[in-house]
Amino acid sequence: METADPRNSVPPGRETPFAGFVVAVVALALLVSAVPLIGLPDRLPGLPVAFWTMAALAVACDARPFVPPGRRQTSAVFPSTCFTFAILLGWGLGPAVAVQAVAVAVSGWRMRHSVWRTTFNAAQYACALGAAYLMLRLGPGALFAGGRLRWTDVAAVAAATVTWFAVNYGLVSTALRLRFGGRWWPSARQGLPFELLSTGSLLLLAPVLVTAARASAALVPLVLVPLFAVYRMARLSTEQEQLAALDPLTGLPNRKALLAEVAEQVHLHAERVARNDPGARLALLLIDLDRFKNVNDALGHAVGDRLLVEVSARLVDALDGRDMLARLGGDEFAIVAGGLSGIDEARELADQVVAALAEPVSLDGLPLDVGGSIGIALFPEHGEDYATLMRHADVAMYDAKHRNDTVAVYAAESDHNSAERLGLLADLRRVLEAGPPGGRPVRGGDGAALPSRLGAEPEPAGGTGRWRLRRRRPRVRLDDSDELLNRILTGADPVRRRTGAPDAGAPDAGAPDAGTPDAGTPDAGTPDEPRSEAPVSPVPADRPDADAEVDVGEITMYYQPQIAIATGEVVGVEALLRWRHPRRGMVDPEELIRVAEQSAVMRLLTHRVVDDVVEQLAKWAAAGITQRASLNVSVRDLHTGEIADRISERLTRYGVRPERLQLEITEGALMADPRRVLATITQLHRLGVAISLDDFGTGYSSLQHLRRLPLAEVKVDRSFVLGMADDADDAAIVRSTIELAGALGLRVVAEGVEDERTWRLLHAAGCDAAQGWFYARPMPAEELAAWLARYRPVRPAPHADAEIPRRHAR
């Protein structure tokens, strides 16, 4: 995407410091070169032919400077440097400054530099020549004294060369720092290798050129050969950089080139925003092709590569040449469009891309449909740097895919990923790896003593012999990846940076219930719990094990009773996950599951839940409580048989009967991969573990699943139960579900029973069991034992409000 050279203008807000620096450099140049230039007219008649040859070559070469491919004119190589430095070594400062000024004026005119910029360039060269001349004067005397070049002369020339390069590059880098902002050294270091290769080579040629000129002026033009070699070296170097920034398949710029382009365009458009220019918006469009994987799988990668080449050609034709098109990898492309007035123009460009992809691509006579989803992020509304714009465009692109749309603009409400959520995932891994807190010995259902923590490593006992082993405090060791993630998140997450009291805005108790691990649709809220008053202790950053001692709270299981509606008896409990984070308060279970289910942490979480629930069943059995406990499992758990093996091993070790454990699965888990899920469910059924279909009516399952799966129970989702007393449609769904499940011989449990009328309506409809705030809120295991001791069954009696609302004919 071609744009005007940004160095020809000065951004708002930087005029004063930048202009002051330019004036200072020009004044210094005048001060350095005034005296030599005043005496130059008297010296001109006596200057030799070699001088005039060098002067002519300096001006002629700069009329067509070497602009390496892939670089802007700001990185051009000016051959006059070699000739003017040679003139400085041979004939002094005045002639060198004069020739350099003429060469700069010619190159500035050819490259359309502004007047002030041409003046500054001439001044910077004059200052560099003046500093180099000063180093020569500090040397042993005149060069080539006695007709030969001595070692002291070589040292003086080397010092002058280094001084010229340091002064010139320092002035240019400082000007760029004042012009574009940012840190001085990183930007200066970025261009240093190229300048050393190009400008440094030209400076080193100057002493050779002077030596040749003393022998014969005819040898001076021969320096054009090594100059051409310098040009070729610079060209090859930049071509390598250019190839590294190109996609080898399509020839389009790649991700590296896109990053550089966006960074430069952000600078330009930030200045336009400051000037309130109409075209001050920059758009980043992220394009992901639809159904491209199907082409690869069906026709092979060779055809897929040909398709990408054809698509890239279409996208190039759809653009007007000003915008940059890049391929990021796979089937992802990106477009950088500048000079926009608003989001409407970005949408128009996206519509052009959609139209270009609408027509099928014909490969070997086979038409292939390749639509695409496009996400748009706009500068500065949606981000002010490459990373933010790219992430927000990616969010918008996936938002378009989820909505079955072609174009979407970034919206904050669609962004479900954040540094805070990554921090939550890292803390969850830590709390799971730490394991449950130690407790009293557990006795299983058969009366055998069990360890309070399964799988805990025994502590090394101190020996009684001569070599006594020292006990060492166990230390939590973090993987390098977790430690690095924690450091990144600590800098990015404002919650983690706080070292005082807990976050005032963290969610407190009362978060909605959710099953564990697969929450599905959560139950009603949780019991009110006091906020933790203990302040978060700061962890010194210089301690090597600081990350391992970060307080991440404790995960506990809450249990909500399930009541047989007809008799009022407690027939079971549902295990629900609770995590009180020391800085975030009570973490919303639904968010917790959503974060964990997309990573390998889900496996750790499932193991923890299974271990805790089976262990608690063993404790209750030892205390004479024989309730069935239900726990949720995620779709990831059902894709392998590992969950069945884990449950079997834990039931055996704790001596718990399989019929006392029940697993709840959601309809979404069934639809993810029915074949694999059915295999796991069948394995669990053979163990004697009951299976319950949770949140029935909210997913996409068919009646075929109710017939084929070894189900024991169906749970009516709370979204229908809550409204059945007032909404005839909800009441009809609940009644139909109860009748259907009853005909198939399945128990029916209603979630979200919060009032007496709903309780009576469910009884009238023939529902088997219910759970909700009407009976009890979820509570820790120790509180549940006390609640069971004082609970008295209540049976519903006939009541006038027990008639289920009927919907009217439409």
Q: Any idea which residues carry the catalytic annotation?
A: 751
State whether residue 564 is helix, strand or coil. Answer: strand
Place of tokens 């279909």: 693
Question: Given the DSSP bridges, would you call strands 372-379 and 366-368 parallel, antiparallel or unpaired?
Answer: unpaired
Residue 49: partners with Cβ closer than 8 Å, 6 or more residues away: 217
Residue 515: partners with Cβ closer than 8 Å, 6 or more residues away: 522, 574, 575, 576, 577, 631, 632, 664, 694
Nearest CA to 751 among 588, 514, 510?
514
Gap between the Cα atoms of 690 and 465, Å rounded: 54
Gap between the Cα atoms of 278 and 795, Å rounded: 73
Nearest CA to 205 among 230, 185, 182?
230
Gap between the Cα atoms of 506 and 154, Å rounded: 71
State whether residue 772 is helix, strand or coil. Answer: coil
- Neighbour-count burial of 750, counting CB atoms closer than 10 A to its CB (0-12 exposed, 13-18 middle, 19+ buried): buried
Distances 213 to 91, 103, 156, 582 between C-alpha atoms, Å: 12, 20, 19, 79
Nearest CA to 354 among 336, 342, 369, 367?
369
The 8-class DSSP code of residue 113 comes to: -
Geometric angle at alpha carbon 91, from 120 and 110, rounded to 5°: 35
Neighbours of 43 (CB within 10 A): 14
The 8-class DSSP code of residue 8 comes to: G
Gap between the Cα atoms of 64 and 49, Å rounded: 23
Residue 539: partners with Cβ closer than 8 Å, 6 or more residues away: 499, 546, 547, 549, 550
Gap between the Cα atoms of 574 and 632, Å rounded: 9
Handedness of CA 57, 59, 62, 64 (dihedral sign): negative
Distances 497 to 22, 95, 210 between C-alpha atoms, Å: 42, 62, 63
Asked if residue 695 lies in contact with residue 666, where contact means CB atoms within 8 angstroms, the answer is yes
Gap between the Cα atoms of 121 and 103, Å rounded: 10
Geometric angle at alpha carbon 521, from 519 and 525, rounded to 5°: 90
Question: Given the DSSP bridges, would you call strands 554-564 and 570-581 parallel, antiparallel or unpaired?
Answer: antiparallel
Asked if residue 94 lies in contact with residue 43, where contact means CB atoms within 8 angstroms, the answer is yes
Q: What pairs with residue 283 in β-bridges?
A: 337, 378
Long-range contacts, 133-138 (Cβ 8 Å, 24+): 133/88, 133/92, 133/93, 133/96, 133/160, 134/163, 135/159, 135/160, 135/163, 136/88, 136/89, 136/160
Long-range contacts, 475-479 (Cβ 8 Å, 24+): 475/545, 475/548, 476/430, 476/433, 476/434, 476/548, 476/549, 477/548, 478/430, 478/547, 478/548
Place of tokens 């909210």: 698
